[in-house]
Amino acid sequence: MHRSAFGALGREVRTKNISERVQRIVLSPIKEMSILADEVRQDTGATIVSFGQGIPYFDTPEYIKEGIRAALQERDTARYTLEPGITELRELVAKDLMARKGVENVKFSREVMISSGCQEAVMCALVTVVDEGDEVLLLSPSFASYSEQILQLGGVPVFVPLDEDRGWHLNKEALLEKVSPKTKAILFSHPSNPTGTVFAQEELRILADLAKEHDLVLITDETYDFLVYEGKTHVSPASFSDIRDRVILCGSFSKKYALTGYRVGYAFAEQGIMAHMLKVHDALAICAPAISQKAVITALRGDQKSVAEFVEKLTENRELMCKKLDELSGFFEYKKPQGAYYILAKYQKSGLGSAELAVKILQEAKVVTIPGVAFGPYGEGHLRFSFACSPEEIDEGFQRLRVWTETLGK
């Protein structure tokens, strides 16, 4: 079993002068597939349909672009912002966390940082709690980069299987089994990328109680908090007052406002934790991009109509992709996601690992999917499909997949 698509292709690696920590990690197959797709496109001239990296097909809303144009007139846009972020933006984020998520009494100047995307915020959180040999529980399948971030620190990612049969929800027994004296934190995305799970209040309570009992930090990645389906409610564990001081809440503006390219996110933590995270943020990034921070100031001040429109379109895409997958039920089966914009579909026994399969589908059908192994061992045997692309791309991609699966039997 290959953990990476490049590995599946047998690419060589240098070991001389290279740290052991970095030899242990892989490039996220999410990014590998984008790079390979670009190579296939250049080599063959084919257009590629991508269900890979989760990028909304909409453009940045016009009112946000207006804000960016206005920012270009301001001298300080060219300059580093304060290291924790622009004060006004931290204040807006604090208000949003209180209003929308019910986090209590957020002190914007001590408990909020603006990061270079959610990825960097999670990294700051991990550096702050993980020493060499420490374990972090990952509700798994889990976002690809978490395990690489932990391994890079000399920490140990411990994969806790979610219950696929119950729609990838929490398996309390499996969770309790994996806690050890070396456990320092639990990290999960919620709604979950790649499974689409929206964890219920009771599940979050189990995690909260476990964190208290074992003195753990709960790190949440709430990038997709705005995107839940069928009347589900997103609850943030940061709103539980008894664990407010042991939650690190990481978030993003990338998906909500179609700003993935702008690299801007945030984190909230109790000020004692945040003071340490800010030291890491400095060493990794200095500050988040000023123009992106200003884009988000505009975004958060707007009427949020564009968000409602995005959710509506993505809800339609979800239905469309489920229908298309149903038509290929001989090859794929899946649980309908409750949030985010991914489907982690199990594929029929094909004798191939998911990395090999994803590369084969790219090469033969010119469709990008993400190998499930990217999300840890419990993701193996699956492919992740993003339905953030346009409906036309979903149509075209599944047309290609249908033709491709038909050739398989021959």
Cβ proximity to its own copies, 2 vs 169, nearer residue: 2
Cβ proximity to its own copies, 149 vs 192, nearer residue: 149
Q: What number of CA atoms fall less than 13 Å from residue 224's CA on the CB side?
A: 29
- Return the SS3 of 179: coil
Among 9, 46, 82, 308, binds its own copies (CB under 8 A): 82
CB of 376 to its own copies, least distance (A): 15
Q: Which of 359, 330, 335, 364 is nearest to 347 (CA)?
A: 330
Site for its own copies in 247-276 (CB under 8 A): 258-263, 270-273, 275-276
Site for its own copies in 338-367 (CB under 8 A): none
Cβ proximity to its own copies, 34 vs 338, nearer residue: 34
Structure tokens at 255: 């998906």
Does position 17 interact with its own copies (CB under 8 A)? The reply is yes
Does position 127 interact with its own copies (CB under 8 A)? The reply is yes
- Taking CB under 8 A as the binding criterion, the range among 89-97, 124-132, 192-200, 325-333 that sits at the site for its own copies is 124-132
Task: Let me know: does 256 contact 25? Beta carbons within 8 Å.
Answer: no
CB of 99 to its own copies, least distance (A): 25
Cβ proximity to its own copies, 118 vs 361, nearer residue: 118
Among 117, 157, 339, 379, binds its own copies (CB under 8 A): 117
Among 46, 78, 308, 408, binds its own copies (CB under 8 A): 78
What is the Cα–Cα distance from 44 to 159, expressed in whole angstroms?
A: 39
Task: Let me know: does 60 contact 394? Beta carbons within 8 Å.
Answer: no
Among 70, 176, 284, 408, binds its own copies (CB under 8 A): 284
> What are the contacts of 13-17 at 24+ separation with CB within 8 A?
none
Does position 102 interact with its own copies (CB under 8 A)? The reply is no
Does position 230 interact with its own copies (CB under 8 A)? The reply is no
Q: CA angle, 145 as apex, 139 and 149 as ends, to 5°?
A: 95
CB of 33 to its own copies, least distance (A): 11
- Taking CB under 8 A as the binding criterion, the range among 74-82, 94-102, 375-383, 389-397 that sits at the site for its own copies is 74-82
Task: Let me know: does 347 contact 239? Beta carbons within 8 Å.
Answer: no
Does position 9 interact with its own copies (CB under 8 A)? The reply is no
CB of 293 to its own copies, least distance (A): 9
| Residues near its own copies (CB under 8 A), total | 89
Among 83, 91, 96, 163, binds its own copies (CB under 8 A): 83
Listing DSSP states for 150-164 in one string gives HHHTT-EEEEEE-BG
C-alpha torsion sign, points 111, 102, 99, 127 = positive
Cβ proximity to its own copies, 117 vs 379, nearer residue: 117
Does position 282 interact with its own copies (CB under 8 A)? The reply is yes
Does position 283 interact with its own copies (CB under 8 A)? The reply is yes
Does position 113 interact with its own copies (CB under 8 A)? The reply is no
What is the Cα–Cα distance from 73 to 344, expressed in whole angstroms?
A: 44
Q: Residue 79 gets which letter from DSSP?
A: S
Does position 403 interact with its own copies (CB under 8 A)? The reply is no
Q: Which of 275, 211, 272, 273 is nearest to 237 (CA)?
A: 211
Cβ proximity to its own copies, 17 vs 233, nearer residue: 17
Does position 88 interact with its own copies (CB under 8 A)? The reply is no
Does position 80 interact with its own copies (CB under 8 A)? The reply is yes
Does position 246 interact with its own copies (CB under 8 A)? The reply is yes
What is the Cα–Cα distance from 209 to 213, expressed in whole angstroms?
A: 6
CB of 22 to its own copies, least distance (A): 5
> What are the contacts of 173-181 at 24+ separation with CB within 8 A?
175/137, 175/139, 175/206, 175/207, 175/210, 176/210, 178/137, 179/137, 179/210, 179/214, 180/135
Site for its own copies in 170-229 (CB under 8 A): 184, 215-217
Does position 243 interact with its own copies (CB under 8 A)? The reply is no
Structure tokens at 258: 């179609």
183 bridge partner residues: 135
Task: Let me know: does 135 contact 238? Beta carbons within 8 Å.
Answer: no
Q: Residue 99 gets which letter from DSSP?
A: H
CB of 245 to its own copies, least distance (A): 9
- The alpha carbon of 77 is separated from its chain's Cα centroid by a whole number of angstroms, namely 28
Does position 130 interact with its own copies (CB under 8 A)? The reply is yes
